[in-house]
Chains A and B, each alone.
Chain A
Amino acid sequence: MADTRRPLSPHLQIYKWQVQMMTSILHRATGIALAVGTLLVVWGLLSLAAGEAAFDQFKICMGSPLGIILLVGWSWSLFYHLCNGIRHLVQDTGAGYAIPQFVRSSWLSVIGSLVLVVLVWVYVLTAGGAA
């Protein structure tokens, strides 16, 4: 176990809110959500392999109100994790670490993910209903 006599860093509530900390927390949170979402991908593939009845059941579940809410959440998680993941890959090269750039790219991840998820759902709705 951790030796608590060592100096501890201040915990979250000490810090002033900044967009960079939100993007960091969201990256982890959406990553965990997407890890759960992998089960959905497998469920879809299993039902497709199992036969028409199983696949229709899958489509009914995804088209239900709860299914739609989960799909909206997962699709935003995917786009956020994608945008911010690309941002992290760029930062891994050593680029974009000046504070103004860091803040700007944080907002870019958040806004980019929202734009993408809106575009996708506008497409879904205009193509005539969900799932």
Chain B
Amino acid sequence: MSANDFGSHDVRSGLRNPLKRARGFGSAQSGVGHWWTQRVTAAALILLGLWFVVTVLSLLHADYATAKAMVAKPWNAVLLILFVLTMFWHAVLGLQVVIEDYVHTRWKEVALLVVIKFLAVLCALAGVLSVLRIALGA
């Protein structure tokens, strides 16, 4: 391969460091990371979400002790924690795109992006700690 084959379709490529193309991070400096993570969390949420719906339906008229015992079962606790983490991760990625699309004042955009991340981490921790507290019998 001659040097001319590499990016010869782009007249500006002569001014660019080839490392930029090799890394493939693009102008956002994160490449396809956001896009890919959104798909992976989506795929996980198909299974976790359906499991969550079935679990909630099975607890339809359960009293407190039954519901608590259900959450305390090891596999249920593990899947619930996974569900909570994946759900908030996916939600942040989705809300991020919505904010980037519709909020055109830069400082408001950045502030909102930070606020949703803070809220998501706060709520995810609260959810995980609740499950652990029930599962570990505190």
Contacts and interface: CB of A to CB of B under 8 A. Distances in A.
Interface of A: 1-2, 28, 31-32, 34-35, 38-39, 41-42, 45-46, 48-49, 52, 55-56, 75, 78, 82, 85-86, 88-89, 92, 120, 123-124, 127-129, 131
For the side of the interface on B, what is the size category? 20 to 34
Choose among B64, B88, B104, B105 the residue with the greatest number of A CB atoms under 10 Å from its CB: B64
Nearest to B134: A49
B104 A56 contact: no
Contacts, number: 81
Contacts of A28: 98
A82 B54 CA distance: 14
B39 A55 contact: no
Contact of A48 (B43, B68, B91, B98): B68
Contacts of A89: 39, 42-43
B43 A35 contact: no
Nearest to A46: B130
Interface string B22-47: 00000000000000000100110110
B14 interface: no
Given A34-B91, A55-B64, A127-B61, 13 more contacts: A31-B98, A35-B94, A45-B71, A45-B131, A46-B127, A48-B64, A48-B130, A52-B64, A82-B46, A85-B46, A89-B43, A123-B57, A129-B61
Contacts of B134: 45, 48-49
A79 to B, nearest CB: 9
B39 A92 contact: yes
Interface in B45-101: 45-46, 49-50, 53, 57, 60-61, 64, 67-68, 71, 80, 84, 87-88, 91, 94-95, 98
Describe B's contact surface by its main secondary structure.
Answer: helix
B60 A127 contact: yes
Contacts of B130: 42, 45-46, 48-49
B50 to A, nearest CB: 8
Contact of B49 (A46, A55, A78, A124): A78
B133 interface: yes
A73 to B, nearest CB: 15
Contacts of B110: none
A38 B42 contact: no
A68 B61 CA distance: 15
